[in-house]
Structure 1
Amino acid sequence: MSVALQVGGAPLPAGGGSGWPAERRACRAAGGQQRRAPAPPPGRRFSLITLVNVIHSDRAVFGTHSGPAPPTTPSPPRQRHKADSVGTSGGHGPCTPGAPEETAGAAYRANGQNSSLSSSPPDGSALGEATPKLSSPTDGVEAESGVDSPGLGGAPSRPLHENINQQTKRQLRTGLTVLDAAARRQLWLAVCRHHGAELENGDEYRDTVEQMEGHYGPATGPQLPRPPLKLAFYSNDFGLDAAGVWTAERILAVLAYNNPAVTYSPPLFSVCCLLLRFMDEEDAYNCLCMMLKNSKLGYLVQTKRQCEISWRTLVKLCRKHARGSMRFLQRYAGSSEAVRRLLADWMTWIFCYLPFSHVVRLFDCYLMEGEKVLYRAAMALIVLLHKQTAHQPCRDKASHWATLLEEQSVQDVMKIFCQEIPVTPRKLLKTMFTIRAFSRGTLNSSYVKAREQIRADGGRITFPEPTPADEAGCGSELAQQNLPSLDSQRLLGRSSNTIGVKELLRLWESVPARFALCSPLLLYTSSEHGFSLKTFYQRVGTFEPTVLLLRTTEGEVFGAYCSAHWNTRNQLLEDGSRHAYFGTGETFLFSLRPELSVYRWVGAARAGGEPRAAPLRHEQQLFQAADTTMLTVGGGGGGQAIWLDESLSRGRSDRCQTFANPPLAPHGSFEVACIEVFGFAPS
């Protein structure tokens, strides 16, 4: 597949004399002998493999070299810890003193114009100006002198008729030792375009921003409320300044608006910030859209169920490809459950803890190959920790990591190991790609087995998610208040894409007391089971009672406590007809967003013995109704409180006499972004 080496429609300058930059002509005139890839004629489209070869063989096209080639000097001895890496903890600080500095973050595209291809940033138009970009050669991305890589001078590049993906993968894994920020930007854009990113189309992003904010311009503040796809415990911004973080939040808000099926993607914010270090916000948005839509490479998890499957897949892969390291973890963790909790947090190792220099080199391969690179990286980190722990600097002295494992938990040691990783990016990649017998076929096989295991477990999601501080320490009073246990709260928080723990507690106050101590059990969710009324009945029909939760595309969250099971619709009356309406007076409606409201049955006052209660009419006792074409909660007076069509994707809410409620959706009609149904299981 050929990919144009261009940004914003402007081809890379080409041609021997006047097309290539002056730096190259100066280097050639000064007698530079380095072999270079032939210059393509003006306007010619580059293949992806040609792009990588050009980046390797002539960094002057992309870099900052502006004079004769420097004299060759002996390579310094390799150091285990690089002294010239970018910044400190995590590699997010300023560049090393003496290194050329470039503006970090993405250049804002004013009036739809692309940012300059030059290594110098546009004046006053950069995001994150307080944080320098990576610069060659001391950019934190490992530079090792004297190491030839495929396609470099002295070794002819492989024929282009070979499989382009295999060639590019090979070069990205082993060859990119030095790239400045402009070259890496070109590389990432070309790889994303190769996989289908529509980088020239910025209309969708601009139109959505204008619809959300009223105008299109630089982000001037944080998104309020916080975008649903940004999670507090995956908030690594890779050194962007405030404007860059605001832009990343805006991109996530646009993604959530245009992709309602994406409900949970922990690394999405960090990936967005990393892209913004090298490209503008429209290109970053289009790259993320490609990553979310590319099911073949499976870049990002998009639901909590997929997140659960991912860590279970990693467990199976480690047991197959890193048996010794898994036994090592078991020995120090003390139990299989502790190992599972460690591996459940595996994506934070890569996107939150690894130094910037390592993440950037890993991301080169990740963009090209997809999710399997992340699994390789996680296994490599476990293997490296095992090796470093087993290494004894002295015969009678344990290693530093062995001492830490004796003093701290495995989770804490893994975090420290990733932050202070004692190997270079090149060594990390070498360890990743020397794991034998690992292929996409074995990954897919492990993925299918993990998915079937979850189904066999009843669909419960068990991965540990950090609990907000304001929700901790309240367990002692829960039983007295008829509230679910902390474990039940966390279970719902992990499994629901609609409500959080705080909203659960507010809703639970209205649940009948005999069910208040039960654990919520997710029976149906459109994010995993699709929008289908038939599937809804199959999974929910026999459970009583149930809680129906709806989140619309406009952000409203409302629903109903349904007192009767939905299979009642098929029960026959004495005259042979089916139930038109069913349910009891315990049924009630509620709204959680934008504000909390509960609407109980209008006959509750009479049922409680109020002397002045008026006799109830038939239209005030219409609780639930369902057939093969729709389901309804509430009726009477010509409207239904909640009505859903057979696809469960569209609905309407009106006033009804059974609950005397206002429309739960401000505009009446609504589109469903997510629908969930919970049952009640004994604690």
Structure 2
Amino acid sequence: MHLIPREVVERKLLETGSQPKTFARMCLIPVSHPIRKQLWPRLINLRFGTSLATSQLEQPAQIVHYSFAVLGYLEVRLLLLFPLSLCMVTQPDGTDASVGAPTPCPSSHHSSDTPSSLTGYELADRRLQPTYWLNARGRATLLSLMHEVSLSRPELVYAPQAWAVLALLLHFHPAAEALACLLALLDQPDLLVQSKADWRAVCLAMEHLGAAGFAGSRAIGILRHHQAAFQSPGSPNRKGEPETVTTPDNQKRTLTTSTATTTTTTTDDEVLALDPNPRYQLATWAVAVWLLPFECIVPLFDCFLVEGPKVLYRAGLLLWRLASKSEKPGSNCDLANHLIKAATTSAVTSDSRIFLRKIYNIRRFSKTHIQVALSKVVKMLPSNAGLELVDCLVVPCVLPGQRTYTAFGQVKAELAAKGRSSLRPRGSPAHNSVGRGPLLPSSLISADEFSFLIAGIADETLVQAYLPTLIFSSSTDGVSLNTLFQRCADHAETSGRPETILLVRTASGHGLVGAFCSQVWQAGNEFSYYGNGHTFLFRLRPGPPRLWKWCMDGAHGTDRFQRATARFLEVGGGLDAGPAGLRLETGLEMAQSGPSPTFNSECLIAPEDREMQSDLGEGKVYCHFRVSLVEVLGFKSAAF
């Protein structure tokens, strides 16, 4: 065994000039090497001038081991200069490993045929959600951090690569450190895709790179054959004059370019369906490169941090070459599936050394070629008038019109992950947390219960673009109805949203009822009602959860939504001037509930919590009950 100080390895890898590029390409640091606990943050700091904190290696002497017994000739020659361990392993955990990365488990790290079930975030693409070797705890942390990104970067529209990058980071770094690294990468221009237009351009640029000769004559020839077969005679899809390009070996080639068309899809099944257009099937390369085996994607990401997106295009070109071997000119185009299969099951991608050697054997490939290809796509895309938010290239986890928090509610483990520790980065001057509170600030309501309430709100803008915030709690603000009114008024003035959710817990702690209120609470006279038909009553506990919406029958007394004086507040006028659907007294310690014609509701309180009960006939009752806690939730923009 030979020893070399870790500082030597870092200097060889992190110093400026061309040497880091060569080292990153050829050294192939094992995924289980302990230096990976610091490698990516240090690379980010060096290449982009950030100040990310890094975890400390736990080897006291900070020494790296290597053995010549398992090395080939080329590796021995390299490691004479840059020795690294090729045999150090750790126990599989998936998150916050103390040294190095987890040992891979013998199961598939993703599914190429079905979308991940871990959906619910606006920035992610439902086709691109690999979790690699993250365990259940790691996946829960990944989901939570993705939502943290959407909160701290409200200007982001679409960042499909962020999911995969964050999943990789979580294999080697604690949650806060991984989040800080991702935010630092998102701050760099032209590094990670951050809009739908940019994602479309990246996906479609591969065709132009192939037309320039970098994918090989077979790949581009089969693509052109499929395109010709796809277009019916006389179709206007193919436009423009033949284009002459120069290949890397200085040979002239005449190609016919075509104008892209957009297939608009709206449903979950349709949006994930395979598009028959060969151009859009080729665009799957941008997804496939992130679905490489873990032992292959990790060293590729090393090169990405050193060289930028060009290395991803190289990988895409190689996958296209591999996929074209399975394509035949006379067969139907199945390029998308062949690209995924090439990434996940090919013998080339199963060996990172072979894979990297082949992508760097693509000669004379430069950033200029990428810029030219992107510019051609940008010129082509405006011909699609009225480009849709969702198409075969852009497949967000949360589709337009889908309720964000309804989708968010599918993620059962997130709150447990958030409650385990703080997930925000600390100590980085450029990437400190924006200081937002928990996603659900209430101490009374769970994520599932909140999702149930959000699903009942009719205002799409409110549920799509606003976050809950606690504006009053009797445990901290006191049991004053006047204070509750003042807190609601102040919040409505600053946020511009008058809507609130009133939560009332019974004295036993087993009952939880309340109302969604459409207008800001304010004390008036006892004969004045306000609010609108968006108001509703609900009971969350004891279950099953239930809500009562406006009955809209037009009869007298069915439009009494909210009423308040200095002595009480009410939601839902009562039956025959009786007790309201829900009424809170001035001290916030006693309350009433009875049937309300406005919502066609029953008494909200279970029998065991009723202090006093009166029978109104026909099975209808009203009651008095004691209150242990009152909370009012408001809504604020995610940008604040």
Query: By the TM > 0.5 criterion, same fold?
Result: no
Please report the TM-score for the alignment, with normalisation by the length of structure 2. Answer: 0.44
Higher strand share: 2
Larger relative contact order (CA 8 Å, sep ≥ 6): 2
